[in-house]
Chains A and B, each alone.
Chain A
Amino acid sequence: MYNREKQIIVSLITSILILGLYSLYVFNKYIEGNPDILNDFKFWGKAFLILIPVSVIAQIIIHIVFAIVNKITTNEDIPTISDERDKLIELRAIRISHWLFLCGFLLSMGSQAIGMLPGVMFITLISSGFVASFASEIARIYYYRKGF
């Protein structure tokens, strides 16, 4: 397996872990005793604003750790350049992820149009963001392996 594929898998596992652990933390601390908070816009605003930096910092730390571990175990450097094929794969993956997120966004707006609670909209938005990111990483692995 090439370093680029390993990087993608690490990124995939990291995203699952971050969202899983963060959701668990938020659920235990805020939602468990007070489910009505799900319809509070202030709560969702804070939840989103905290998730973004936490996610970025955790991704950076995990990638640094991965680069060090990879260097020690395989004596190979992580590629620092991004060539034309990498960029093309990135673009294709982003296209898939944008379409999926757009579908999620429309679903979340649809939930409001039919009078569902605001919590449904935010949960749909977070879920679609996660699914889009997940699908984008899977697509990248697929294109790296299969070619195009």
Chain B
Amino acid sequence: MSKCLIRNNIRKLRFNANEMTQQELADKTGVTRQTIVAIENGKYSPTLELAFRISLVFNCPLDEVFSYVPEEDSGTAYFKAN
């Protein structure tokens, strides 16, 4: 079974949301800033509940914030998606 990677657009969405800071996003989602940093850097995959909370903050569907890319496809699929 291949390793799965969850990619995210949080940095871009924060920028579009009037340069929302990591701390502001953390406060709105009820986690620490360190967790937001870890998610943004792809070091932590959030639970479904937190993922939904983040997407609610940006007022956009979940798949605009997170995308699921199996490792074997990560090289091509990621660039196709962006």
Give per-residue flags for B3-41: 1 if the beta carbon is below 8 A from chain A beta carbons, else 0. 000000000000000000000000000111111001001
Chain B residue total in the interface (Cβ 8 A): 15
> By the criterion CB–CB under 8 Å, are B41 and A144 in contact?
no
Within 8 A of B (CB), among A73-88: 79, 81, 83-86
> By the criterion CB–CB under 8 Å, are B44 and A147 in contact?
yes
The contact sample of 28 A-B pairs, CB cut-off 8 A, is A2-B33, A2-B34, A4-B32, A4-B34, A79-B32, A79-B34, A81-B30, A83-B30, A83-B31, A83-B32, A83-B35, A84-B31, A84-B47, A84-B49, A84-B50, A85-B32, A85-B34, A85-B35, A85-B38, A85-B44, A85-B46, A86-B32, A86-B35, A144-B34, A147-B41, A147-B42, A148-B43, A148-B44
What is the CA–CA distance of A84 and B51 in the complex, to the nearest angstrom?
12
> By the criterion CB–CB under 8 Å, are A81 and B32 in contact?
yes
A144: chain B residues within 8 A (beta carbon)? 34
Chain A residue total in the interface (Cβ 8 A): 12
> By the criterion CB–CB under 8 Å, are B43 and A146 in contact?
yes
Q: How far is the CB of A106 from chain B (nearest CB, A)?
A: 34
- Residue in B30, B44, B46, B49 whose Cβ sees the most chain A Cβ within 10 Å: B44
